[in-house]
Structure 1
Amino acid sequence: MKINHFCYLFLALLSAGCLYFPNPLWLWLLLVNLLTLLIYGGDKLAACKGWQRVPEITLLLFGLIGGWLGAILGQQLFRHKTQKQPFKTYFMLSVVVNLLAILGAGYWFYGRMVV
């Protein structure tokens, strides 16, 4: 089984597990950031050992769905994916898209209640 499949399997288990807690959004953000940090660490280890790597699209997707803080921490902690320019540009774009989606959802759900 490819390492990419394990990443998505853990993501599916994480999302299913969050539904059983009273505040699933905060738990989701905590766990997806932790999982993203671990994936960056695993990808750095795979890069050093010459093993099969996690595709960049998977790393970008995990940042897009809320794990960008763990990704930034993983990049700095493991010194991984900090120099590759196309990846950095796409990663920052995914962070901006995620933040805009969060702000839009916050306005949609809570901004209209204030008025």
Structure 2
Amino acid sequence: MNLNRFCYLLLAFAAIGSLFLPYPIVMWFLLANILTLVIYGADKMAARKAWRRVPESTLLMFGFVGGWPCAILGQQLFRHKTQKQPFKTYFIISVVLNIVVLVVLSRFVTLDVTHYSL
């Protein structure tokens, strides 16, 4: 199986799985961030061992769909993709786009948390 497809398959499983958990939006961001951190670590290991790499577009997409906090953590923790241009520029653009999308969605979607109990 292609590594890129495998990454997107994992992301799809995270999306579907989050729908069945309490607080699906929160769970989505949690799962997306954990998965992003793992993929950054796997890509760094692949870079060191000259294995097949995760495409930069996939790394950017994981950041765009909400995994950017752990993408930043993974970049610092693994010293991965911290110097490479234009990746840094595209990454910043993807973070800004994610935040803009979240702000726009928050204007149209109200979250009624009164029916949730802790």
Give the TM-score normalised by the residue count of structure 2. 0.90
Return the letter of the residue paired with 1:21: L
Q: Aligned runs of 1:17-96 on 2, under 5 Å?
A: 17-96=17-96
Instruction: Name the structure 2 match of 1:11.
Output: 11
**Deviations 1:65-114 (CA, angstroms, capped at 9, x unpaired):** 0000010000000000000010000000000000011111112224xxxx
CA distance in 2, matches of 1:109, 1:9: 27
CA distance in 2, matches of 1:96, 1:67: 13
Q: Cα RMSD over matched residues?
A: 0.8
Moved over 4 A (4+): none
Return the letter of the residue paired with 1:13: F
Q: Which is further off, 92-101 or 7-16? A: 7-16
Q: Which is further off, 46-55 or 98-107? A: 98-107
Give the TM-score normalised by the residue count of structure 1. 0.92
CA distance in 2, matches of 1:43, 1:21: 29
Instruction: Name the structure 1 match of 2:105.
Output: 105
Unaligned runs of 5+ in 2: 111-118
Return the letter of the residue paired with 1:71: A
CA distance in 2, matches of 1:14, 1:104: 23
Which secondary structure does the structure 1 equivalent of 2:86 belong to? helix
Unaligned runs of 5+ in 1: 111-115
